Amino acid sequence: MISSNSCSFLSNTGVGGSCSNFSDVQRRCSGPPRIVCMAQSSRSNDRNASVAVETKLNGINDDSVVVDVNGKPTVGGGVQDSYGEDRATEDHFVTPWSVSVASGYTLLRDPHHNKGLAFTEKERDAHYLRGLLPPTTISQDTQVKKMIRHIRQYQVPLQKYMAMMDLQERNERLFYKLLIDHVEELLPVVYTPTVGEACQKYGSIFMRPQGLYISLKEKGRVLEVLRNWPQKDIQVIVVTDGERILGLGDLGCQGMAIPVGKLSLYTALGGVRPSACLPITIDVGTNNETLLNDELYIGLKQRRATGQEYAELIHEFMTAAKQNYGEKVLIQFEDFANHNAFDLLEKYSSTHLVFNDDIQGTASVVLAGLVAALKVVGGNLADHKFLFLGAGEAGTGIAELIALEISKQTNAPLEEVRKNIWLVDSKGLIVSSRKESLQHFKKPWAHDHEPVKNLFDAVNQIKPTVLIGTSGQGKTFTKEVVEAMATINKRPVIFSLSNPTSQSECTAEEAYNWSKGRAVFASGSPFPPVEYEGKVFVPGQANNAYIFPGLGLGVLMSGTIRVHEDLLLAAAEALAAQVTQENFDKGLIFPPFTNIRKISAHIAANVAAKAYELGLATHLPQPKDLVKYAESCMYSPLYRGYR
């Protein structure tokens, strides 16, 4: 059987390209075609027919073996239901799909396979590249050196960001090698704070689509949209609706840079292969007037859909994602506004493998930081009193995980433990007299106390040992607030978690100066080291980027089917254990990002171990050495040799 029109192929020499018929394949290949392709037809009279090109597999002498897109043979020409096609109804259209193999000019423009000047002489001959590249050949390491010099020459962070995105579009492996080798330097470029500016200006800097856009226009057709994405074997989706982008508010469709950035960290920091990652922005409109009036705005120019219309689109997406990618696709909710985030997490956590990074990932990273900080400030978690500025996703998410951990450690009921944790929102301290009017996620934190209007008064009345900023409002930890913390505590713990840098509750310099070098400080976006009275303090970065890549890897490698809160505790425990005495000596309560892949492997292993213990893991039997196993599962950005 042979497909009639065009088909793409791979020869046993790895030479590929498009051909119009089988003799063309034979002419261009020195041996029998090695891998065959399956194309799906969407002809109206034959909608569900799959056209399979059959030929011999290398080493498999069976004319009837067909290979699906994942390379798994299906004996006797049976079509694996790789795309959920059999599950789609007759009303669904299917995407005409084929595997293609690039060579020559096309190969140089294929970011997954392009190696630029690192193509060897042999590869240049075998893949029709002669003359398309200048004659010199350089190694990937030299390319990394060249690229980092190139990035460093830009003074403006957004220009560095655009240069990185350009590289990702040109040569994916080089992008990841560069990011991994220079992670401390480049994280602030591809992630917070620069990614915030990229979202704000996404309309002007947008070049090529980097993820899937699902807008209200696609309602009723979401499954089709998912099928348009070229990669089929998706394991992680990061999805946003753009309503609460960092601390920058509603950026609508331009929030796309966030899922793109988060997923590049899944790969660089957690080793999940890039082709398994899918960034998605769900566009239900925006309430941002500036964007609505901007001719360069890339999203739907309408106010946000809410209620049933919103819920239906999200539900269609959640259903289609599971249908298309299976039960074990990990869906990470990112930067939704809190009036949707908590409800979505609750609604889908029993039916899908879902995780909210802002509520759960942030909680896990902060718990890790606090556990590590105890080595500096002393005592157990239960001995401390916590005050938050900001009672939204991050604030209440962290508060809940701290309470859970203390409750487990002390066997005290959660309601009791919560009494040591206080939150301030835009209206002041959350107290019982406000309970009726509070959003549901704030209610557990409404303790008996007289109303307190501002943070300074709350600090003086509650007398916390730990102050955590999750307000999205910059400069709210004023000099008097930090001084009050330093008066109450010998070593005040102060975390300014809001992103990007402009929204940080205080800077590292302010925290160290105003506390006279006594603060144990960490921030959501990075700050440079600070010298205070001859001593250099290196501020840590309390950012969920420490957690989600390792947690995700742990979940994927163990085939875990649900994200349980104990997995968040396991991730926090593993991260805290990675802080060394040398780190503490510099004032750090998080390990540096330089070793993040090793850290992620430990987090993944601890998460997977907990998942096996809870019976949530499905990849059986459990590997003996989970750290080694995690390392062995990690994507390496090194170039592969081509036949």
Ligand X SMILES: NC(=O)C1=CN([C@@H]2O[C@H](COP(=O)(O)OP(=O)(O)OC[C@H]3O[C@@H](n4cnc5c(N)ncnc54)[C@H](OP(=O)(O)O)[C@@H]3O)[C@@H](O)[C@H]2O)C=CC1
Binding-site members for a divalent metal cation are 334-335, 358
Q: How far is the CB of 505 from ligand PYR (least distance, A)?
A: 13
Of 19, 88, 367, 497, the residue at the interface with ligand X (CB under 6 A) is 497
Does the protein bind Mg ion through residue 335 (CB under 5 A)?
yes
Q: How far is the CB of 239 from Mg ion (least distance, A)?
A: 12
Do 390 and 471 contact (CB within 8 A), yes or no?
yes
First to last CA, the chain: 27
Does the protein bind ligand PYR through residue 357 (CB under 6 A)?
yes
Q: How far is the CB of 248 from ligand PYR (least distance, A)?
A: 9
User: Which residue stretch of 206-214, 330-338, 555-563, 604-612 sits at the interface with Mg ion (rule: CB under 5 A)?
Assistant: 330-338
Residues paired with 330 in a beta bridge = 236, 353
Q: Tell which residue, 201, 227, 202, has the closest CA to residue 214.
A: 227
DSSP-based three-state secondary structure for 67: strand
Among residues 515 and 541, whose Cβ is nearest to ligand PYR?
Answer: 541
- Cα-Cα-Cα-Cα dihedral sign, residues 184, 185, 187, 192: positive
Among residues 213 and 355, whose Cβ is nearest to ligand PYR?
Answer: 355
Do 386 and 464 contact (CB within 8 A), yes or no?
yes
Q: Which of residues 511-570 bind ligand X (CB under 6 A)?
A: 524, 542-544
- The CA radius of gyration of the chain, in Å to the nearest whole number, is 26
Among residues 84 and 188, whose Cβ is nearest to Mg ion?
Answer: 188
Do 480 and 455 contact (CB within 8 A), yes or no?
no
Does the protein bind ligand PYR through residue 335 (CB under 6 A)?
yes
Question: How many angstroms separate the CA atoms of 484 and 355, rounded?
Answer: 37
Helix (H) and strand (E) counts for the chain?
25, 20
Q: How far is the CB of 505 from ligand X (least distance, A)?
A: 9
The token pair at 516 is 């006279």
Active site annotation includes 191: yes
Question: How many angstroms separate the CA atoms of 316 and 216, rounded?
Answer: 11
Of 114, 194, 324, 499, the residue at the interface with ligand X (CB under 6 A) is 499
Of 40, 360, 470, 543, the residue at the interface with ligand PYR (CB under 6 A) is 543
- The catalytically annotated residue of 262, 322, 442, 610 is 262
Q: How far is the CB of 450 from ligand X (least distance, A)?
A: 18
DSSP-based three-state secondary structure for 220: coil
Among residues 77 and 451, whose Cβ is nearest to ligand X?
Answer: 451
Does the protein bind ligand PYR through residue 547 (CB under 6 A)?
no
- The catalytically annotated residue of 191, 612, 635, 639 is 191
Question: How many angstroms separate the CA atoms of 495 and 519, rounded?
Answer: 10
Question: How many angstroms separate the CA atoms of 446 and 455, rounded?
Answer: 16
Among residues 396 and 465, whose Cβ is nearest to ligand X?
Answer: 396
Q: Which of residues 353-412 bind ligand X (CB under 6 A)?
A: 358, 362, 365, 389-395
In 349-420 the beta strands, taken as DSSP E runs, fall at 353-356, 386-389
Active site annotation includes 442: no
Residues in the chain: 643
CB-based closest residue to ligand PYR: 499
User: Which residue stretch of 47-55, 142-150, 353-361, 517-525 sits at the interface with Mg ion (rule: CB under 5 A)?
Assistant: 353-361
Helix axes 362-377, 393-410, angle to 10 degrees: 60
Q: Tell which residue, 29, 22, 18, 16, has the closest CA to residue 3.
A: 22
The token pair at 258 is 């966030």
Q: How far is the CB of 224 from ligand X (least distance, A)?
A: 32
Does the protein bind ligand X through residue 319 (CB under 6 A)?
no
Of 3, 103, 544, 558, the residue at the interface with ligand PYR (CB under 6 A) is 544
Do 468 and 462 contact (CB within 8 A), yes or no?
no
Q: How far is the CB of 266 from ligand PYR (least distance, A)?
A: 13
Does the protein bind ligand X through residue 247 (CB under 6 A)?
yes
User: Which residue stretch of 13-21, 106-114, 356-364, 413-421 sits at the interface with Mg ion (rule: CB under 5 A)?
Assistant: 356-364
Among residues 103 and 499, whose Cβ is nearest to ligand PYR?
Answer: 499
Where are the alpha helices (H) located in 430-507, listed in sequence order? Answer: 455-462, 479-488
Buried residues in 215-235 as b, exposed as e (16+ CB within 10 A): bbebeeebbbbbbebeebebb
Q: How far is the CB of 332 from ligand PYR (least distance, A)?
A: 10
CA 211 to chain CA centroid, nearest Å: 13
**Which run of H or E residues covers position 373?**
helix 362-377
Among residues 523 and 544, whose Cβ is nearest to ligand PYR?
Answer: 544
Of 181, 358, 393, 573, the residue at the interface with Mg ion (CB under 5 A) is 358
Number of residues counted as binding ligand X (CB under 6 A): 31
Q: Which of residues 494-523 bind ligand PYR (CB under 6 A)?
A: 499
Among residues 171 and 364, whose Cβ is nearest to ligand PYR?
Answer: 364
Do 1 and 54 contact (CB within 8 A), yes or no?
yes
Angle (nearest 5°) at CA 608 between 602 and 613: 130
Interface with ligand PYR (CB under 6 A): 192, 246, 335, 357-358, 499, 524, 543-544
Query: Which residues of the shown chain bind ligand X in the complex (CB under 6 A)?
Result: 244, 246-247, 338, 358, 362, 365, 389-395, 424-427, 470-473, 476, 497-499, 503, 524, 542-544
The residues assigned a catalytic role are 191, 262
